[in-house]
Structures are given as C-alpha cells and as structure tokens.
Structure 1
Amino acid sequence: MPLRVTFLGTSGAIPTPERNPTGIFVAREGEELLFDAGEGTQRQMMRFGTGFAVSHLFVTHLHGDHVLGIPGLLQTMDFNDREAPLAIHGPHGTRRQLESLVNALGNRPSFPVRVNQVGGGDVAYRADEYEIRAFETDHDTRSVGYALVEDERKGRFDRERAEELGVPVGPKFSRLHEGNPVELEDGTVVRPEQVVGEPRPGRTIVYTGDTRPTVETIEVAEEPDLLIHDATFADDRAERAVETAHSTARGAAEIASRAGAKRLALMHVSSRYAGYTDDHLEQARESFDGEVFVPGDGDELEVPYPDAEE
C-alpha cells in the first residue's frame, strides 16, 4: 500500500525563486491529505501533479506562510465543481480566523467545509487503518504538529507450517489469518498463533510545523519512519532560532535522534540561506545517524513499511 509525500513548499516565511511557502501533500491508498497551505499552494499542486482531491487539510498555525493559500485553493476547488466535503483542522482558538479564510472572498464555497479545532493529545482524524494525532509544539502563536500513525498490520501467515499441520488450502487459511481457530476433519484444532507471526508495525510520519525543539515531538510516535522538522536556521543563527521560536538543523537532528526516527527532512529553510543548505546537512549529520535531507519543492518520497527489507 503506497504512502507518498510530495513537498509542495519548503521555504521559510519568505518565498524564494526556488522555494514556495510551506505545503506538504500526502497520498495514502487513494486518500489525499494536505498539511499547511502557504501562498501559491494550488499552483504547486498543479505543477507537481497532485490534483485537488484533498479530503483533509491540517493547519499547524495561522502565520501567513502556512495559510494564505487556503482562499485560492478553495476557489479553484469550487470552480472545478467540487461536491465532496473538506475538513480543515487547526489549533484550538483559531476557528474564527480559519472561517474568515474560508469566506475571504465573500462567498462560502458551494461544497461543505468543516473546521475542527484540535490540541495536543487529540486525534484530529481517525480513518480505517490509521489516525492523525495532534501534538503540542512551541511556536510564538497557537500551534500544533501532526503525526500520521498507521495501525499495526497482521503478522505474516506461514503457509508451509499450516500445511504441515494439515490445514487444507482454502478458506481456513483466511480464518486463521483473521485470528480465528479452525477445526480439521480429525477434530484437531489449529490456533492462529501456530501459523501467524507477531503483528507488524505500520508507518509513521511526524510533521512539526514551526517550533522550537520539544519533547512532545519525541513522544507522539515511536520511531517514526519520517520526521519532517522545522530547520529554519543553521548554527550561525542559533540565538535567532530561540528568539523566533524556530529550530536549527542541529536541534531538529537531536530530536530525530532521540525519537529514533529513520529519516529526517529539514523544512522551512530561511530565505537568508539562498538555496545553500550544506551547513544544515553537515550540522544535522553530526547529531543524527539516520538519513537526513533538505527537500526541494516538488520532491517526492515513498515511505516504505519498517519491515520492507525482511
């Protein structure tokens, strides 16, 4: 089951010719999610071919570089005769501002738009096989981060062992894999634990939005497959990072290491670095042994299952 991340916008507060303000698109088995929508997000969606069939928009905070793309995106959806509902999730205390963005042009969209407020520890959205958890972040306004956490998957079915135990090929295989015992013709009962391995972990993506390093990022999910973390500054602006409630690349890497993350994406790079991110990467790698990268606009990443190589 594919889980794909498209980085629509990777800049800090000010866009650059190469980087749009923040926007992250996630596609999972036909469902499309959007995390933040800076100015120009709809054009980035066209440019990188994601389409507009987003069912949920998760807003980390209401600074312009994370939300000014909402009115235009909604208008384009309206022009395309959208009928499907859209849920917009944001931090507690932001409903009025989010409703104002929805109605910015004086006409409410013709399709249903629901605003949902969330705080740290809330499940913003529960789907059949995963959930989106909100967690507290430390920015200079009301803010949250989000974690996409998949449910555990069934253990692997040992067909060879099942046949050795006399289970005939057919429906009894499925019943055992579903966790139900089966009775053979001679009266022998075969239990699921005899032929099904331990449950296997799903995949996890954690996105902080803008924040200082926090313990909540570490605690929201165990060993995330991908951590997308604020890395606005390099070490040369460490004091500025503290003052403005952002993180350095090194600070993001320390959080990734403590969280046991497998991959670290350094996001929201300040325009002052003008596309030069070698220092970000070098400083992050001094604190994090996993894969670390600075995504560019349009970069795509497939997130594999933790046991994909087994």
Structure 2
Amino acid sequence: MELLFLGTGSGVPAKHRNVSSMMLKLLDERNALWLFDCGEATQQQILKTTIKPRKIEKIFITHMHGDHIFGLPGLLSSRAFQGGESAITIYGPKGIKQYVTMSLKLSQSHIRYGIRFVEIENEGIIFEDNQFLVTTKRLQHGIPSFGYRIVEKDREGELMADKLQAIGVPFGPMFGKLKKGETIVLEDGQEINGENFVGPKQKGRIVTILGDTKFSLKSIELAENADVLVHESTFIHSDMELAHSYNHSTNLEAVAVAQKAKASKLLLTHISARYLYADSKLMEKEAQTLFPNTFVMSDFTEVSIPLKRDEE
C-alpha cells in the first residue's frame, strides 16, 4: 500500500505544484488503484508515473471546488482509450453525478465502461468488502466537504512454509489444512498442529484523507489511530486569520488534529501557491517541533504504508 501525490497545491496550478489529486495504490492488496480528488491536469501528472488508469477502481471526491474536480471528465474519457473496460465507482458530494454526466454528454465523450455514482448524503459507511471499510464525515468548509477513513481489515498470519518443509511436510493440500489451524497426521504418525505454524495476524492499516476544512472535531474522529493522516495545510500558522477567512487550515491546526487523534504520521498537502520551496520547508519544520513525524508533500512524492504485526 502506497500513497502517491499527483498534485499538492491549492486553488490554481503553479509551476512547482499541480492542484489536488492523490492515488492510493492497492496493487498488492487488490490489483487496483483508488484516486482521491482529480484536479486539472491530473491525467498529465499520471503520464509522468507508472500508473495505469485502467486499474483505477474507485474515485473519491472530497468536495466540488474546481481545483478538486476539473480533471475528472478528461481522465474518465482518456481511460476509455487506455484499455479501461472495467466499471468504476465515483463517490462524492451531491452534484458529482450531474457534473460528470453532463460534461461527458456535452463533449460527446463515449465511455465503454460503466460508471456508478455514490452521492454522499449521510455520514457513515460508504463501502465495505472483505478487505476494506471506508467511512466518511462532513468537515467544515464553505461548501460540503468530506473526509474519508480507509480501514484495512486484519489479515490472517502467514503459514511458516519453510519450517513445515524442514520437518517433512510435503507441499500440497496439507498446507491448506494447516493454514486453517487444523491438525494433520504424517505417514510416520507425527501430528502437526497448524496453529503452531501460522504467524501472528497482520494488523490492518488505517489511512485518513481529508478534504478542505477548518479545524474540525470530525477530522479527529476520522483520523483516530490512523497510520497516515493526510491533512490540508493551505497556510502557515502565521497566516491563520487568512486561513480561516477561506475556511482552510494551517500547518499547526493539522498538527493538533494528528495529536488529538493519536495518528502515527501526518502528511501536509494543498499548499497555497504563494509559498515557494523555502516557505514549505519552514512550514514543515514548524510543524515538526510539535509533531516530529510530519512531512510537507510535493508532487510525485510516494509514501509507503507498511504492514504491522500484532507484536508491533
């Protein structure tokens, strides 16, 4: 599981930052990609990576401001020419279906795959299967803006195949029984209890991705015990008054959310175009004085989210 930041700026594209978009790469987990927001020129950013748009399974839109959605019709249209045949689900605020369908209709774009829309009207669970649970809450912004909490369900421990082969267990159906914790009997009468050869459970990871927001208690709820919290940091804390006038957060307000939620890592994004590289490093350093595991993201930064085990 990795997070790849395709655009880390706010408002308008800049030379050093494109507008908002990030990809949650679940290639090992489900051979799929989940896209969060799709600002202008997201597909151009994708061309500079190894990402294959046909693997995009879900798109989550946090809110309807242009810097988060203007790239969506183009990406969907191009995906049809890039081998994308599998259906896609788009989650987002009310209006996202009308925006996408009208854009495609008026441009006479022909999509060969199905698009399912889930317009968020209530907080709570919006997706669940045997691997993942996704919940959402409404944040504090000028228009409806949502945050997403992605919870990976715990995995069963791995079978210690090397140890089994070392004591003479032949590879085959017996391995399947042992994986289930059953007891088998070898030809020499030796009994093998599968529970003794299955490693500890792999704890599921938690990733929280927030839309644009002022400091919000719901942000804390979404980020509780998250392995990674992605929080907007449009402004540095000395510009707090400006941040609040635009319904945005500062770097230190993002830190407060991470601290209260007991998150493990804080990734700051949605940086105002007024800040150049030196300013963003100052923003990062200021945040790290209070929450050391804080990092300001740049376009094309990729962050790995490793598995945890029970003993960790």
**TM bracket (short chain):** 0.7 to 0.9
* Structure 2 counterpart of 1:83: 85
Aligned residues of 1:98 and 1:115 also touching (Cα < 8 A): no
* Structure 2 counterpart of 1:298: 300
* Structure 1 counterpart of 2:124: 121
**Residue 208, structure 1, aligned to residue 206, structure 2:** no
Aligned residues of 1:7 and 1:297 also touching (Cα < 8 A): yes
**Residue 35, structure 1, aligned to residue 36, structure 2:** yes
Distance 1:102 1:149 in 2: 32
Q: 1:195 to 1:189 in 2, by over 3 A?
A: closer
Shift of 1:81: 5.4
Alignment-mate amino acid for residue 125 of structure 2? D
Distance 1:168 1:72 in 2: 55
Distance 1:94 1:76 in 2: 19
Alignment-mate amino acid for residue 288 of structure 1? F
Aligned residues of 1:39 and 1:66 also touching (Cα < 8 A): yes
**Residue 268, structure 1, aligned to residue 270, structure 2:** yes
Aligned residues of 1:172 and 1:182 also touching (Cα < 8 A): no
Alignment-mate amino acid for residue 283 of structure 1? E
**For each residue in 1:206-243, what CA deviation from the matched residue of structure 2 results, as whole angstroms up to 9, or x when unmatched?**
11021122232332354222111111111121122222
Distance 1:103 1:222 in 2: 41
**For each residue in 1:128-177, what CA deviation from the matched residue of structure 2 results, as whole angstroms up to 9, or x when unmatched?**
422332232221111211222211011355789989xx995665554343
Distance 2:184 2:74 in 1: 60
**Residue 139, structure 1, aligned to residue 136, structure 2:** no
Q: Which runs of 5+ in 1 are unaligned?
A: none
Q: Which of 257, 260, 271 does residue 258 from structure 1 map onto?
A: 260
Q: Which of 14, 17, 20 does residue 19 from structure 1 map onto?
A: 17
Instruction: Kindly report which structure 2 residues correspond to 1:1-310, keeping only aligned pairs within 5 A, or say none.
Output: 3-29=1-27, 30-53=31-54, 54-80=56-82, 82-92=84-94, 94-118=96-120, 119-124=122-127, 126-155=128-157, 171-178=173-180, 180-182=181-183, 184=185, 190=193, 192=195, 196=198, 199-220=201-222, 222-275=224-277, 276-289=279-292, 291-307=293-309
Question: Kindly, what percent of the aligned residue pairs are identical?
Answer: 28
Which of 263-272 and 126-135 deviates more?
126-135
Aligned residues of 2:157 and 2:198 also touching (Cα < 8 A): yes
Determine helix, strand or coil for the equivalent of 1:272: coil
Relative to the length of structure 1, the TM-score reads 0.85
Relative to the length of structure 2, the TM-score reads 0.85
Shift of 1:19: 0.4
Aligned residues of 1:149 and 1:221 also touching (Cα < 8 A): no
Cα RMSD over matched residues? 3.0
Aligned residues of 2:177 and 2:194 also touching (Cα < 8 A): no
Distance 1:115 1:306 in 2: 33
Alignment-mate amino acid for residue 87 of structure 2? P
Aligned residues of 1:99 and 1:115 also touching (Cα < 8 A): no
Q: 1:188 to 1:73 in 2, by over 3 A?
A: closer
Which of 89-98 and 203-212 deviates more?
89-98
Shift of 1:309: 9.9
Distance 1:184 1:41 in 2: 57
Which of 107-116 and 92-101 deviates more?
92-101
Determine helix, strand or coil for the equivalent of 1:284: helix
Distance 1:183 1:284 in 2: 55
Determine helix, strand or coil for the equivalent of 2:6: strand
Alignment-mate amino acid for residue 77 of structure 2? Q
Q: Which runs of 5+ in 2 are unaligned?
A: none
Shift of 1:63: 0.3
Distance 1:104 1:243 in 2: 36
Q: 1:201 to 1:101 in 2, by over 3 A?
A: farther
